[in-house]
Amino acid sequence: MTPASEDARYPARLIDDQLRQSRARRRGSLVSTALRTRSPGGRYLLAAAATRSLTLHELLAAAREGRRVDADPEALADLARVVGLQFGTAEDRADALALFDLALELGGPKRIGPRSAAVHAQLAYAAGDAEAVR
């Protein structure tokens, strides 16, 4: 399945409805649900929560390239946490680190929650980036 066809599986109206429902719940419940169920659809919701101007695949590409985007750093960190922990592939871990770097660039360390910061440190350590762990 191509990224474009994957994006088409999650129309904007569906994403909007799901985001509206998730905002009525406790903060972090969407992250917990995505991790617990291992649902790839959770990534699309979290990407939309971070920025409405880019799809998940566009956001990941921007993070990989180090491009600055208009996004919510806390929501980016939530997405990075899910991407880094959900399936555990090497590509996912690299994408998660790129998303964490983007979130830190946009908001600084104070905008990243302690759980996300811990995951970032663990992923960076596993990747051999001791400087990022500090």
Instruction: Write phi, then psi, for 29 (nearest 5 degrees).
Output: -70, -35
Nearest to 68 by CA among 31, 110, 40, 103: 103
Query: What whole-number percentage of the chain has pLDDT above 70?
Result: 81
* Domain ranges for the chain: 3-133
Q: How many angstroms separate the CA atoms of 97 and 63, rounded?
A: 9
- CB contact at 8 A, 71 and 106: yes
Any alpha helices (H) in 1-134, and if so which ranges?
3-8, 12-23, 29-37, 41-50, 56-65, 73-86, 90-107, 114-126, 130-133
Query: What whole-number percentage of the chain has pLDDT above 90?
Result: 58
The per-residue pLDDT for 1 is: 57
pTM above 0.85, yes or no: no
